[in-house]
Structure 1
Amino acid sequence: MKRNGGHPLARALSVTFLVFWAFMVVYPMVWTLFGSLKDNQQFFMGKPWNLPKLPLLWSNFSYTWDKYHFGAYFLNSVIVTLGSMALALILAASSAYVLARYSFKGSGVVYYFYIASLMIPGILALIPTFFLLFKLHLNNTFIGLITVYAIGAVPFGIFMLIGFFKALPRELEEAAVIDGASHFGTFFKIMLPLAKPGLLTFSIINLLGMWNEYAFALVLVNDPAKYTLPVGIAVMQAEMQYRTEWGALFAGLLMSIVPVLILYILFQNRITEGVTAGAVKA
């Protein structure tokens, strides 16, 4: 029996909405690209949303990279993001595995404690986190910022990954025990590779948030040499003072957007697969 695909009017409305939504998402990126290829005169003499005039100022990118230390900010963001994601994966995956595969008194309380923490806005913990890191002598360090980002990602990681570990057959663990594998060996060599779709989905979703995070990076790090990209762009605009170099500013924004945009385009199908697969046994 063939499906007719629904009412023509409903299909037309759906297509119209999706086209409108795609336009609303793509247009700011295109406008940022156009802005990065202009000089200040084009912004002030013409309309800001006009197409850039020839010759296109590709030099805005190298100018921003060199003059405003954009390369250092970019490297700092890479270090913090990858370090946070690696630590978050270890913490979230191991915690989700234990909660999913082992029964112990209070396991349900621990699980719901993590889930409940998802309802608390992270910004409320900003000031207590600052004083805690200050007492631990971890403020103004990459290690402190990485730890904060990683711990903040753990509750969502447990919520997502526990379904993957519950769905895995227990026969795999039993076979590993018979072969002499330890608990750690079973986890790292058998269970963790089988949960790769969930790990990848969790990584991509959190990488986007960690790369763009601003408030904690601003408060917890005050050394200009350790600024991440979001803070660096804000500092870049402040350094321009009374003469904003709009082309350079748009170039900096575009360079901060492109890495995560490419990452999302490459792995968008994996994200969808990971979310649906984890929903089998939540």
Structure 2
Amino acid sequence: MRRMQLWHLFLVPVCLIWVYPFVWMASTAFKSQREIFLGGVSVIPKQWTFDNFSRAWDTAHFGAYLSNTVVFSVTTVVVVVLVSATAGYALGRGNLPGKKIIVGLLIATMFIPQGYTIIPILKLVDAVHLQNGLLGAVLATAGPAHVVPILLFMGYFAGMPQELEDAALIDGAGYPRTFFRIMLPLTKPVISTVSLFTFMSAWNSFFIPLVFTLGRPDLRTLGVGMFSFFGQDSTDWGGLAAAAVISLLPIVAIFVLLQRTFVEGIAGSVKS
């Protein structure tokens, strides 16, 4: 017990050091530009101001960027969940020929740097004339194999009893109906886990949305819009901090709402 208390005394300062940059960023959103440079490392603003938020929302068009990011992230989640679930079901149930080879190849792709695959992906999206828009960015983000979501669904489906499919077969349900009406609804914990992972990745995505919105500045996402605060000769640090807070709030809220199902999905897949 005493050893545990000593560990707590050591970990509390470490925790404070770890969260300090985030707290400082959040407090900077309420500081004036002068106080940011002259206020030192203090996290409590001497004079609270909301001008940074109004400037980020209106002048920097973060209201429109927020809508674009929601559309981009939600659409990416839907595509990734559907593709990963169907792939996980095919690999987790039945005797698919070459299943071990397919799984091995999927795992091997995790070690391939993104730089090696981004050019072929961009060429494929360009071939279908979707290079300037959010739909092209969604396909480029959700198109590559998402190995971890596939493995999560695969593990969860593999642990389901065979009696479920046998009962559906007796009732006359075909393969698609068995999957969408019976098996997929039972994977809600994994769906929540994959949705949370994918949403966070898409929400914070920068490079792909940047490439696909170069010709359409009105379709920028929050990550791309952050660069509007960097000028040639100066940087609006107050507006940048306010924009960062606006970007982080939805992620924090979604994680708080889904953290229970997130843990259940991970535990269920690993157990299976």
Superposed CA deviations along residues 123-146 of structure 1, whole A, max 9, x for unmatched, are 332233223322331212211111
Give 2:44's aligned amino acid.
L
CA deviations on 1:200-235 (whole Å, 9 max, x unpaired) are 11111121111101122222331211111111101x
* Equivalent of 1:245 in 236, 240, 251: 236
Alignment of 1:48-127 (within 5 A): 48-54=41-47, 56-127=48-119
For residues 96 and 43 of structure 2, the distance between their equivalents in structure 1, rounded to whole angstroms, comes to: 64
Identify unmatched segments of 5+ residues in structure 1. 1-6
Aligned match of 2:146 in 149, 154, 161? 154
Partner residue in 2 for 1:218: 210
1:3 maps to what in 2? Answer: none
Distance 1:95 1:144 in 2: 22
After TM superposition, the structure 1 stretch with the greater mean CA deviation from structure 2, 224-233 or 39-48, is 39-48
Query: Quick one: distance in 2 between partners of 1:95 and 1:120?
Result: 20
The two structures have a TM-score, normalised by structure 1, of 0.89
1:267 counterpart (255, 258, 262):
258
Structure 2 residue matching 1:205: 3-state secondary structure? helix
Q: Relative to structure 1, is the Cα distance of residues 133 and 16 closer, same or farther in structure 2, using a 3 angstrom cutoff? A: farther
**Structure 1 residue 15: Cα displacement:** 2.8
Partner SS, residue 196 of structure 2: helix
- Which stretch has the larger CA shift, 68-77 or 133-142? 133-142
Hey, what's the Cα distance between the residues in 1 that align with 2:129 and 2:166?
A: 45
SS, match of residue 213 in structure 1: coil
Instruction: Give how far 1:191 is off.
Output: 0.6
Which residue number in structure 1 is paired with residue 191 of structure 2?
Answer: 199
Task: Give the partner amino acid of 1:139.
Answer: Q
**Distance (whole Å) between structure 2 residues aligned to residue 15 and residue 46 of structure 1:** 31
Q: Within the alignment, does 1:47 sit opposite 2:47 as a pair?
A: no
Matched, 1:8 2:2: yes
Q: What is the CA-CA distance between 1:107 and the residue it aligns to?
A: 2.1
The 3-state SS of whatever aligns with 1:152 is: coil
Q: TM-score, normalised by structure 2?
A: 0.92
Matched residues in 2 for 1:148 and 1:243: separation?
Answer: 33
Q: Equivalent residue for 2:166?
A: 174
Tell me the percent identity. 33
More displaced, 151-160 or 59-68? Answer: 151-160
Aligned to 1:228: 221
Counterparts of 2:234 and 2:27, CA distance in 1: 20
Q: CA deviation at 1:21?
A: 5.0
Deviation at 1:280, TM superposition (A): 1.6
User: Higher mean Cα deviation, 86-95 or 13-22?
Assistant: 13-22
C-alpha distance in structure 2 between counterparts of 1:253 and 1:178, whole Å: 54
Retained in 2: the 8 A contact 1:38–1:57? Answer: yes
Q: 1:153, 1:206 within 8 Å by CA — same for their partners in 2?
A: no
* One-letter code aligned to 1:39: S
Q: What residue ranges of structure 2 are gaps of 5+ in the alignment?
A: none
User: How many residue pairs are counted as aligned between the two chains?
Assistant: 271
* Post-superposition offset of 1:27: 2.1
Distance 1:172 1:18 in 2: 48
Contact 1:39/1:246 (<8 A) preserved: no
1:144 correspondence with 2:151: no
Moved over 4 A (4+): none
Specify the code of the residue in structure 1 equivalent to 2:258: F
How many angstroms does 1:85 deviate by? 0.4
Residues 32 and 49 of structure 2 are in contact (CA less than 8 Å); yes or no, is this contact kept in structure 1?
yes
Distance 1:91 1:21, change over 3 A: farther
Q: Residue 248 of structure 2 aligns to which amino acid in structure 1?
A: I
Q: Is the 8 A contact 1:164 1:195 kept in 2?
A: yes
Q: 2:124 aligns with which of 118, 127, 132?
A: 132
Aligned 8 A contact 1:37 1:52 in 2: yes
Aligned alpha-carbon RMSD (Å)? 1.9
